[in-house]
């Protein structure tokens, strides 16, 4: 059964393997006017991640939990977080959507993303690698950290996918580079705004434009990488992608 409780109520057992060893999965979904945007895609990825990590999921219970939380949330914008642990806990929570600046600066994380790890395909609660990279960026006055993989290819941000305009073409790293299959990334690809292509840090540094993407950020333009300016500030591709995402959200 699903029980509605205040967000401060304890919901996970002390011996749950999600607590002890990080065996859990999660999704963060944007709420637009009371509707969970791209809900089915996020739930599908939650199930895919659960299959990798070994987390039991109940489709009906997930749907019930999301519906219950959205009903209480009302017609406001916000963010929805769905978390499931290998110990059987399922938590659905909503809170306010934090403000997002239209631009970002990034720094390269000093350690690589292992593109051969099975966890790169899962949105796992074993998230310390990402949090440490994000904290590394924040400590240096940057918005996010950018991971390269063990081959030196651009991979992803600590909580974002990355896009760049190289030789006039908007590209994003393929999943084989080790990046997570972002829901917003997939929407951008499916609507003809970009293609998959491998590129390195040198190509990113000389790109005419670049941006980060995520469910909450949409398309957030990168203005600098490790202090090197990117683009001329006009952001035509990011603006176009933002319009596409806004139209999709309005039609949801």
User: Phi-psi bin for 37: left (phi > 0), alpha (psi -120 to 50), beta?
Assistant: beta
- Kindly give the interhelix angle for 183-190 and 39-53, rounded to the nearest 10 degrees: 130
Average pLDDT of the residues in 41-70: 97
Average pLDDT of the residues in 104-133: 98
What confidence tier does 155 reach under pLDDT thresholds 50, 70, 90? very high
The b-or-e profile of 35-63 (16+ CB within 10 A means b, else e) is: ebbbbebbbebbbebbeebebebeeeebe
Q: How many CB atoms lie within 10 A of CB 239?
A: 15
What pTM, to 2 d.p., does this model score?
A: 0.94
Q: Which residues have CB under 8 Å from 146's CB, separation 6+?
A: 106, 107, 108, 109, 154, 155, 156, 157, 162, 204, 225
Q: Which residues have CB under 8 Å from 167's CB, separation 6+?
A: none
In which residue ranges of the chain is CATH 3.30.470.10 found? 17-95
Beta bridge partners of residue 195, listed in sequence order: 171
pLDDT value at 20 more than 90: yes
Average pLDDT value for the chain: 95
Given this structure, which CATH class describes domain 17-95?
alpha beta
In which residue ranges of the chain is CATH 3.20.10.10 found? 103-251
Q: How many CB atoms lie within 10 A of CB 201?
A: 15
pLDDT value at 2 more than 70: no
Residue 156's pLDDT is: 99
Q: Which CATH number fits domain 103-251: 3.30.980.10, 1.20.58.110, 3.20.10.10, 3.90.25.10?
A: 3.20.10.10
What confidence tier does 1 reach under pLDDT thresholds 50, 70, 90? low
Residue 239 tokens read as 């603006």
User: Closest by alpha carbon to 191, among 251, 150, 143, 115?
Assistant: 251
What confidence tier does 7 reach under pLDDT thresholds 50, 70, 90? confident
Instruction: Give the DSSP letter of residue 153.
Output: B
What confidence tier does 217 reach under pLDDT thresholds 50, 70, 90? very high
pLDDT value at 4 more than 80: no
What confidence tier does 183 reach under pLDDT thresholds 50, 70, 90? very high
Beta bridge partners of residue 162, listed in sequence order: 212
List pLDDT tens digits, range 59-87: 999 999 999 999 999 999 999 999 999 99
């Amino acid at each position: 059964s699903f029980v509605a409780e205040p967000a401060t109520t304890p919901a996970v057992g002390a011996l749950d393997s999600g607590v002890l060893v990080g065996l859990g999965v999660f999704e963060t979904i944007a709420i637009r006017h009371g509707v969970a945007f791209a809900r089915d895609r996020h739930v599908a990825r939650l199930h895919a991640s659960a299959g990798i990590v070994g987390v039991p999921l109940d489709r009906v219970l997930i749907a019930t939990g999301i519906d219950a939380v959205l009903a209480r949330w009302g017609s406001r914008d916000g963010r929805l977080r769905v978390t499931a642990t290998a110990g059987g806990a399922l938590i659905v929570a909503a809170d306010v959507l934090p403000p997002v600046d239209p631009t970002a600066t990034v720094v390269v994380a000093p350690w690589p993303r292992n593109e051969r790890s099975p966890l790169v395909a899962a949105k796992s609660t074993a998230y310390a690698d990402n949090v440490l990279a994000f904290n590394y960026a924040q400590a240096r006055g940057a918005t996010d950290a950018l991971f390269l993989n063990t081959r030196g290819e651009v991979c992803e941000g600590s909580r974002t996918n990355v896009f760049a305009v190289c030789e006039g073409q908007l590209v994003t790293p393929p999943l084989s580079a080790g990046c997570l299959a972002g829901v917003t990334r997939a929407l951008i690809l499916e609507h003809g705004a970009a293609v998959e292509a491998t590129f390195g840090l040198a190509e990113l540094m000389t790109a005419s434009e670049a941006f980060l993407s995520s469910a909450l950020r949409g398309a957030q333009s990168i203005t600098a990488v490790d202090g090197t300016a990117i683009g001329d500030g006009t952001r035509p591709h990011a603006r176009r992608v933002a319009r596409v995402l806004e139209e999709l959200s309005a039609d949801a």
